[in-house]
Amino acid sequence: MVGVCRVDQVPVDGGVAALVGGRAIAIFRTFDGNVFATSNYDPCSRASVMSRGIVGSRGDATYVASPMHKQAFDLRSGVCLDDETVRLPVHDVRVVDGVVWVGEEVTVAGGGGA
């Protein structure tokens, strides 16, 4: 895992972009203190914009909506809530002593929250 930033540098209900191991990663923090990490690359628009997406919830899912075409991606699994055949890669993430640590891409549903 790589220490990326202080958790207070990530806006509540917003995101920031970081370069981790040569990959553009989007880091999000929700109002309840959970932190998530995904690819910054929007698989639908093919632009590196996910860190600028809107964080929200739909049912039990906490999501980020693409700022381009508004597709919503579950921040835990990466599954697109609007088209389950599309997935946003999610990364293991931890907060230790106020520092956000980002790890490898999680390849099974359910990863990502700290």
β-pairing verdict for 2-6 and 99-106: antiparallel
43-55 pLDDT, tens digit per residue, is 999 999 999 999 9
Instruction: Identify the pLDDT of residue 112.
Output: 44
Residue 114 lies in a domain: no
How far apart CA 55 and CA 74 sit, in angstroms, is 10
Residue 111 lies in a domain: no
Q: Which residues of 77-107 are buried (b: 16+ CB within 10 A; e: fewer)?
A: bbbbbbeeeebbbbbbbebeeeebbbeebbe
Residue 48 lies in a domain: yes
Q: What is the CATH number of the domain that holds 24?
A: 2.102.10.10
Instruction: Identify the pLDDT of residue 108.
Output: 53
Extract the residue ranges of the chain whose pLDDT is less than 50.
109-113
Query: Which pTM was predicted?
Result: 0.90
Residue 83 lies in a domain: yes
Range of the domain at 43: 2-106
67-79 pLDDT, tens digit per residue, is 999 999 999 999 9
Instruction: Count the domains in the chain.
Output: 1
Instruction: Identify the pLDDT of residue 95.
Output: 98
Instruction: Identify the pLDDT of residue 107.
Output: 76
